[in-house]
Structure 1
Amino acid sequence: MANILFFDTPAPARLESPLRRRLRRNSELLCALFSALLASATLFAIMLVVIALFYRGEFITFAPGGLWFGRGPDVAAGRVALSCFSTPQRLAGAFALTLLVAPAAYIFLRLRMLFRLYARGSVFSPRNAHCLKHVGLGLLAYALAPFCANRIALLADVGNDPSWFHLYEIQAAVLGALVFVIADVMLCAHEIEAERDGFV
């Protein structure tokens, strides 16, 4: 009696298109870039907080526009030495500075996550759209942060920056709204891709 052996049929190799390979390669580079930007923003925020809380010299001052490095106090220019502020005022200043940097760091974090997904070959998944929506939230927070920081400075009697409002805040808000729409477009693309893969 002959023995019959059955072998599993190997699954056909799924060739990756040149466009997909290029997307993965470029996404790896952008993931590394946003990782570096995230680390830089985090270190910068920590440095600002430490300076705002503990610096006692006169080569870093506070004035309209933020912290000034390498310039001493100047009453006419509105520059005040950090040592003149009380501990609660310093805490409020440190919180305001963190509020200004945190949205940018959050945007870099979410963009790094998004391009990591692209680098792994995930293009139209719900996770991609989720990351994009969080980028949009980060942009909206970036647009609102200067107003909030200015109000905190006023409440703490640290100072008043009359030129806190800038055009880039409107641009960030508009871009944040656009990113939300793009995220929904990606969800629609995911549904189309799922229907195509499920079609027999």
Structure 2
Amino acid sequence: MATVVKLQPHVRKPVKPPESAAQRRVRIGSGWIAGLFTGLLSLSALILIAAIGAMLFYRGEWVRIGPDNCYIGEAPANTVAFGSLPLVHRLVYVVVGIVRATPILMIFWSLRALFLHYAGGEVFSRAAAVRFGAIGAWLCAYAVSPFLCHLALSATRYEIDKNWAHMASLQAFVLGLLVLVIGQVMQVGREIEEDREAFV
């Protein structure tokens, strides 16, 4: 009586090349930087929550707003206590605060994700390129948000702080465009690399 034994084909797993010293430095350094951006993201979120709480519930004189800026502590004579504003006015500024803070939070979120990719050894991956482009897009959003909020507040006549035009916003917009384009170039480069690997 014959015995039939089914043999499984031996499939060789691709051998991962050993990590170089430079790759190890990038991986470890990226892990530390990802931790830094995690901390900055958490701190920014806590500051936003504290600011919303102060805008809604604080009634003292230490938080004031005027035509040039918002102040905590000593403030010029042309300012008013934020807590003295009507609830609707304060709610409008809560929305403005969220709109202005969201790009900052998303920049830190995207930077954290990017460096987590690097820490995992994905330096020139498609996901890393997408994250890089997202950082540029959120930088542009951060740059234009003061102007958009100014237009909305002017239209509703709720604007008190009219100091919205800053050179830093222009710089952030230009930097954001550059980072966005670099992210697109990285994606195109990755697609070319994938096509070449498929052809070979």
Q: The TM-score by the shorter chain falls in which range?
A: 0.7 to 0.9
Where does structure 2 lack aligned partners over 5 or more consecutive residues? 1-8
Q: CA RMSD in A?
A: 2.3
| 2:37 pairs with 1:24 | no
1:49 is aligned, of 44, 47, 52, to: 52
Matched residue, 1:34: 37
The total of aligned residue pairs comes to 192
Counterpart of 1:128 in structure 2: which amino acid? Answer: A
1:72-83 → structure 2 map (5 Å cutoff):
77-83=77-83
Closer/same/farther in 2, CA of residues 60 and 9 from structure 1, 3 Å limit: closer
TM-score, scaled relative to structure 2: 0.85
Contact 1:61 1:80 in 2 (8 A): yes
Distance 1:94 1:8 in 2: 60
| 2:101 pairs with 1:62 | no
How far did 1:8 drift? 7.2
How far did 1:29 drift? 1.1
Matched residue, 1:3: none
| 2:148 pairs with 1:145 | no
Matched residue, 1:100: 100
The alignment-based identity, stated in percent, is 34
Counterpart of 2:30 in structure 1: which amino acid? Answer: S
Q: Deviations over 1:18-56 (max 9, x none)?
A: 221111111101100110111111111111111111111
TM-score, scaled relative to structure 1: 0.85
Contact 2:66 2:80 in 1 (8 A): yes
Which piece of structure 1 moves more, 38-47 or 181-190? 181-190
